[in-house]
C-alpha cells in the first residue's frame, strides 16, 4: 500500500512538472528600432554664432560685444573703468578687478584674451590675469608662451590646485580662446560641499581641464578653503605685475 502511495505521488509530481513545462507565458515583444527613439521634447534651437564675425550663439548672455563694459562693474565700486578701444578692452593696472553685474550658477563661458606682442617679464609676472568662476575659483590667465612657471599656476590651471593637461598658448599678439564649462557646487547645511564644483577648460580647441573637481577657493597663500556661496559674478583679475596689460574681447555666457 505504502509503495502504491509513493508511486502515485511520484506520478502526480511528474504530471505537474510536465504541465508546467507546457504552460505558455507571454513572450516579451521583439525590439524594433522605433522602441528606442523618442521625438519629444525636441532640443531647443540655438543659432550658432557667425563663423566670420565670431558672434555669440543666439541664447547667450553677451558680456562684451566690443562696444562697452555696461555688463561689468568695478570691484572698487561704480562702473567698470578699464579702457575699451577698437572692439577690445584692456586691463587698467591703476584700477581694480572688474565683475559682471549679473550673478550666475552653472554656465558655459566663452572669452578671448591677448597679451601684447612686445610683452616682457617672466613666470607669473608676464601677462597675468584670471577669470574667477562665481567670484571664487580662478582659471589662470597668463602668457606661458616660452615662459615657464609653477605648473599649477600656468594658463588654464585652477590656480594652485591643478596643472592644465597641455600648454596650448598662442604667441604674444595672437588671440587665445577660452571655453569654460562650469558646474556650480551644492552645499550641505553645515557649509561643506555636498556636490563639489567641477570645471572643463578648453584653450584654442585643446582640452586643458577635463571635468576637474575644484577643491575650494584659489588662494595665493595657503590651502583651498570651502566657503559656502550661491550664484556669483564672473571676475576678471587686475594683476599687479609690471608687464604690459592684457586685453579681452568677445565674452559671452550660456546659463546651464
Give how far Cα 62 sits from Cα of 2, 89, 115, Å: 93, 15, 22
What is the per-residue binding string for Mg ion in 86-125, x denoting contact by CB under 5 A?
A: ----------------------------------------
Task: Pick between residue 56 and residue 114 the one whose CB is nearest to Mg ion.
Answer: 114
Query: Among residues 63, 126, 127, 130, which is the contact residue for Mg ion, using CB under 5 A?
Result: 130
Which residue lies nearest Mg ion, judged by its C-beta? 130
Residue 192 CB, shortest distance to Mg ion, in Å, is 27
Task: Pick between residue 139 and residue 184 the one whose CB is nearest to Mg ion.
Answer: 139
Residue 142 CB, shortest distance to Mg ion, in Å, is 6
Residues 201-240 that bind Mg ion (CB under 5 A): 237
Task: Pick between residue 56 and residue 149 the one whose CB is nearest to Mg ion.
Answer: 149
Residues 48-67 that bind Mg ion (CB under 5 A): none
Task: Pick between residue 56 and residue 178 the one whose CB is nearest to Mg ion.
Answer: 178
Q: Which residue has the cell 595665493?
A: 220
Cell triple for 43: 532640443
Which residues, at least 6 apart from 5, have a Cβ–Cβ distance to it below 8 Å?
none
Beta bridge partners of 88: 85
Residue 175 CB, shortest distance to Mg ion, in Å, is 18
Task: Pick between residue 130 and residue 185 the one whose CB is nearest to Mg ion.
Answer: 130
Burial class (CB in 10 A: 0-12, 13-18, 19+), 248: buried
Task: Pick between residue 194 and residue 225 the one whose CB is nearest to Mg ion.
Answer: 225
Task: Spell out where the chain has E strands.
Answer: 61-64, 72-74, 83-85, 88-90, 98-100, 107-114, 129-133, 137-141, 176-183, 186-187, 193-195, 198-203, 206-213, 235-236, 247-255
Stretch that binds Mg ion, among 13-21, 127-135, 143-151, 248-256 (CB under 5 A): 127-135
Closest residue by Cα to residue 160 from 243, 229, 227, 222: 222
Task: Pick between residue 128 and residue 183 the one whose CB is nearest to Mg ion.
Answer: 128
Closest residue by Cα to residue 110 from 225, 234, 211, 245: 234
Q: Could you give the count of Cα atoms lying within 13 Å of 168 in the half-sphere of its Cβ?
A: 20
**What number of chain residues touch Mg ion (CB under 5 A)?**
3
β-strand 61-64 against 247-255: which pairing, if any? antiparallel
Residue 58 CB, shortest distance to Mg ion, in Å, is 32
Our finding on whether 164 is near Mg ion (CB under 5 A) is no
Which parts of this chain interact with Mg ion (CB under 5 A)?
A: 128, 130, 237
Amino acid at each position: 500500500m505504502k509503495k502504491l502511495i509513493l508511486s502515485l505521488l511520484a506520478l502526480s509530481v511528474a504530471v505537474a512538472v510536465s504541465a508546467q513545462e507546457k504552460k505558455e507565458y507571454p513572450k516579451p515583444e521583439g525590439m524594433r528600432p522605433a522602441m528606442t527613439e523618442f521625438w519629444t521634447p525636441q532640443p531647443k534651437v540655438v543659432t550658432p554664432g557667425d563663423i566670420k564675425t565670431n558672434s555669440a550663439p543666439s541664447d547667450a548672455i553677451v558680456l562684451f560685444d566690443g562696444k562697452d563694459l555696461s555688463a561689468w562693474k568695478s570691484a572698487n565700486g561704480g562702473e567698470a573703468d578699464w579702457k575699451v578701444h577698437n572692439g577690445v578692452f584692456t586691463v587698467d593696472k591703476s584700477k581694480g578687478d572688474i565683475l559682471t553685474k549679473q550673478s550666475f550658477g552653472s554656465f558655459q563661458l566663452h572669452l578671448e584674451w591677448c597679451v601684447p606682442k612686445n610683452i616682457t617679464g617672466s613666470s607669473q609676472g608676464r601677462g597675468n590675469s584670471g577669470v574667477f568662476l562665481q567670484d571664487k575659483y580662478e582659471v589662470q590667465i597668463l602668457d606661458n608662451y616660452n615662459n615657464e612657471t609653477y605648473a599649477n599656476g600656468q594658463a588654464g590651471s585652477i590656480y594652485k590646485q591643478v596643472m592644465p593637461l597641455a600648454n596650448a598658448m598662442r604667441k604674444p599678439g595672437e588671440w587665445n580662446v577660452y571655453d569654460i564649462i562650469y558646474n556650480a557646487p551644492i552645499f550641505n547645511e553645515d557649509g561643506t560641499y555636498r556636490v563639489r564644483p567641477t570645471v572643463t577648460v578648453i584653450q584654442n580647441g585643446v582640452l586643458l581641464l577635463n571635468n576637474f573637481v575644484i577643491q575650494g577657493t584659489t588662494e595665493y597663500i595657503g590651502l583651498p578653503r570651502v566657503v559656502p556661496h550661491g550664484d556669483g559674478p564672473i571676475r576678471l583679475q587686475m594683476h599687479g605685475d609690471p608687464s604690459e596689460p592684457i586685453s579681452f574681447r568677445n565674452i559671452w555666457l550660456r546659463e546651464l
